[in-house]
Structure 1
Amino acid sequence: MNIQRHWLMTGAAVIAALGLGFGAAQVLNRSVPETAHADEDHAEAETEGAVVPLTAEQAAAAGVTVIALERGGGTELKLPGRVAFAPGAEAAVDAPLAGAVSRVHVGLGDRVSAGSPLVTLRSPDGAASRADADAAGAAADAARSAERRDRSLFDQGWVSQSRLDITAAEARRAEAELRAARARVGAFGAPGADGMTVVRSPIAGVVTRISASPGQVLHEEALQVAAVADPRRVELVFEAPPSAAALLRVGDRLESTLAGSGAVSGIVIAVAPANAAGVVIVRARPDGTVPPAGSILSARITAGTTTGTIVVPLDAVQSLEGVPSVFVAEADGFRPHPVITGRTSDGRIEILSGLTGTERIAGPGAFLLKAELAKGEAGHGH
């Protein structure tokens, strides 16, 4: 009887222990997922609310380039090019006649207006042209006076019609010679009686070269005195293969990269036929930032269709906690957007989902925003 009681008590204890353990396990199993889900929800909330509070100007100053989204699917051409002055934006200024430089009015980098004096020179040819103009003026005055006299005498019956016709013809010839003499004086820069001639800038801009100095004698073989260019009037010039002539159209957009600098957008304004060397010259108008003339470019032109998959520069996609993301420019800064990426080719990557195609995003320099975002998260952790 005692033995049976002992085994009954032992069995009850075991059952009680098993029940307690099972209940505790159930409690733990319920609490752990709830905690894990809470952490995940918190992390997602932090990611959705993350923003790098920089304006577009601040981002540009930090080295971040904001770009519009493009779509692939068209024919792409990668072209070498340069930034050149637009037609009429650069002038090589020659002295209109030979002579000795008396004064140089400008220096390199000076900004001038159209008509501003560049150099003054003394020219014997200029003095001679002025003397010829003065003599032609005197001869024309005399011929007009003679015509008036003979016309008065003709009205009184003292001279014949033929005499009046000859006098009138002489007056017309003298007036023509005067016009020609004045035109020569104007072409020579309107020199004075002493031959002093002022060479003036034909356009507004900046002096980019000075080729004359006081005391220098300019000969007909070498008359250049200066060069002036307008740095605001530039265009993008690219060299393309002959096959590009059939692909490119006026109005096509291009994205180019300055050597060692940021991106430059442009709109194609002209496509010349292939030249003797078999090269097609493509000219584009900068759309936005105006780069300095002489800069070297590398451009990608998407010709024809603009539909297709969204593509962005490879360095626009940054990994945030293992998730590919791009920084979208918004009113309050740059906000990371998770994306699904596709194929990569020639420095660009497809965006299969995550963007609508209307956004403006951080392109080159996006890694700086990632670093800034990491600093902000580290500060919140403390």
Structure 2
Amino acid sequence: MRKAIPAALTLAILLAGCGSGSPPPAEAPSEAAKGAAHEEEEGQVELTVEQIRKAGVEVARAIRSGGGALTLPATIEGDPQGTQVVSAAIGGRVVSLTRNLGQAVGRGQTLAVIESREAASLNAEIEAARARLTLAQSNLTREQRLFDQKVSPEQDLIAARTAASEARIALRLAQQQVSAAGAGGGALNRIAIVAPLSGQVVTRNVTLGQTVAADAELFRVANLSRVSVSLALSPGDAGKVRPGSEIEIVSGDRRSVARVDFVSPILDEATRLATVIAVIDNGSGQWRVGEPVTASIRLSESIGNGGAGGVLVPASAIQTVEGRQTVFVRNQKGFKATPVTVGQPSGDNVVITSGLTGNEQVATTGSFTLKAELGKGEAEHGGH
């Protein structure tokens, strides 16, 4: 049986070991250190980019706002100043179509050719006026020569000048009548319908061989480098929007910033709402006319409202974690659960009055998955 070592001898052995120069054994981490390490990782959900994608977690940018925002459904429209209807000024049969839907066209280029008796009459008037002008100018030249030779009286010269001026005016009038109807169609009985501006053909209401009436709409041509959205706001909300204000346009993963171009000072008689039009730079062609989108309007503070501002996040980003309202903020390791103070709802968004700066990206769709993952991680830690 091993004998017990006296306490004094044990102390002597320990002191000898410390004086020998060999390093002391590594100390085990204290409970305080373990708690600090846990505190650093508390609320962190570590996920790779691939794991985030597979989990279906979507991210949205928080929005700083002085007075809240409105989120409304909207539709992409052509810029009112960049869209024009092309109609037939005269009736007739369509014998040629040179542009189809979506094709580009330059200003003055032919879209269609119409054949009709009226076109023949207009073109014939040009030819007749041109012939009369040629005759009148020849007569004027002859009368001028005879007058210079003192053979013809000045009265005949004045009459020749008058006739030449009238013939010139008649030719210009005939040319303008054809120009109002279109352009030369290559034959006396044809008129070409031309594009009034450069852009794309966005509507075509005619087929080859169709007989069209005067003033019938044949095409719509739009310059789609700029598009717009039109919104109807209550008078109170419209009063917080100014020309130049930003509107965020969202559809799926596509986003653009539009600028308010017009705030109507007159309410619609039927709806009693004010129209707000915002213009979007569409040089890349990512937006299509008629496409449904979501528009988020940043409202400025109204006078005397106490400056009710904050940060806007989608309502789907808010989760309740341990009794506190929380959002999951994207970081390099994944997402960090960040407690926030939630204010009033604003459409599909909510106002965050504290906890965020407005520069964060937060989880929206799939944020509940992150909450579940966070709870699972804390349960595992508590079980050790």
Q: Which residue of 326, 329, 346 maps to 1:327?
A: 329
More helix as a share of residues: 1
Deviations along 1:19-77, one digit per CA (max 9) or x if unpaired, are: xxxxxxxxxxxx999347416514624866946548xxx98xx78354242235x2755
SS at match of 2:275: strand
Deviations along 1:84-125, one digit per CA (max 9) or x if unpaired, are: 211133332212322111133333344444444332221222
**2:365 aligned with 1:365, yes or no?**
yes
CA-CA distance at 1:334 after TM superposition: 6.1
Q: Assess if the C-alpha contact under 8 Å between 1:311 and 1:351 holds in 2.
A: yes
State the partner residue of 1:308: 309
Deviations along 1:126-185, one digit per CA (max 9) or x if unpaired, are: 222111111111111111111121112111211222221121111111111111112222
State the partner residue of 1:34: 30
Q: Assess if the C-alpha contact under 8 Å between 1:113 and 1:205 holds in 2.
A: yes
State the partner residue of 2:170: 177
Is the alpha carbon distance of 1:115 and 1:372 closer, same or farther for their aligned partners in structure 2, counting shifts above 3 Å?
A: farther
CA-CA distance at 1:199 after TM superposition: 2.1
Is the alpha carbon distance of 1:337 and 1:165 closer, same or farther for their aligned partners in structure 2, counting shifts above 3 Å?
A: farther
SS at match of 1:303: coil
Q: Assess if the C-alpha contact under 8 Å between 2:68 and 2:308 holds in 1.
A: no
2:340 maps to a residue whose letter is: I
**2:206 aligned with 1:212, yes or no?**
yes
Between the aligned partners of 2:370 and 2:199, the Cα distance in structure 1 is 42
Q: Which residue of 117, 120, 124 maps to 1:127?
A: 120
Deviations along 1:243-265, one digit per CA (max 9) or x if unpaired, are: 4454332123334665x887664
Is the alpha carbon distance of 1:109 and 1:87 closer, same or farther for their aligned partners in structure 2, counting shifts above 3 Å?
A: same
Q: Which residue of 180, 188, 201 maps to 2:195?
A: 201
Query: How high is the TM-score relative to the length of structure 2?
Result: 0.71
Give the stretch that moved more between structures: 360-369 or 149-158.
360-369
1:223 maps to a residue whose letter is: A
Question: How many pairs are equivalent?
Answer: 336
**2:240 aligned with 1:247, yes or no?**
yes
1:326 maps to a residue whose letter is: F
Is the alpha carbon distance of 1:360 and 1:46 closer, same or farther for their aligned partners in structure 2, counting shifts above 3 Å?
A: closer
Is the alpha carbon distance of 1:202 and 1:215 closer, same or farther for their aligned partners in structure 2, counting shifts above 3 Å?
A: same
State the partner residue of 1:9: none
Q: Which residue of 182, 185, 195 maps to 1:191?
A: 185
SS at match of 1:355: coil
State the partner residue of 1:83: 76
CA-CA distance at 1:276 after TM superposition: 5.2
Q: Which residue of 61, 64, 73 maps to 2:58?
A: 64
Cα RMSD for the two superposed structures? 4.0
Between the aligned partners of 1:64 and 1:349, the Cα distance in structure 2 is 17
Is the alpha carbon distance of 1:99 and 1:87 closer, same or farther for their aligned partners in structure 2, counting shifts above 3 Å?
A: same
Query: How high is the TM-score relative to the length of structure 1?
Result: 0.71
Deviations along 1:251-308, one digit per CA (max 9) or x if unpaired, are: 23334665x8876643322111224503311111237895432226464441336873
Between the aligned partners of 1:40 and 1:354, the Cα distance in structure 2 is 22
CA-CA distance at 1:233 after TM superposition: 2.4
Q: Percent identity?
A: 24
State the partner residue of 2:262: 270
**2:231 aligned with 1:238, yes or no?**
yes
SS at match of 2:136: helix
Is the alpha carbon distance of 1:77 and 1:250 closer, same or farther for their aligned partners in structure 2, counting shifts above 3 Å?
A: same
Between the aligned partners of 2:333 and 2:199, the Cα distance in structure 1 is 38
Q: Assess if the C-alpha contact under 8 Å between 1:103 and 1:213 holds in 2.
A: no
State the partner residue of 1:156: 149
Q: Where does structure 2 lack aligned partners over 5 or more consecutive residues?
A: 1-26
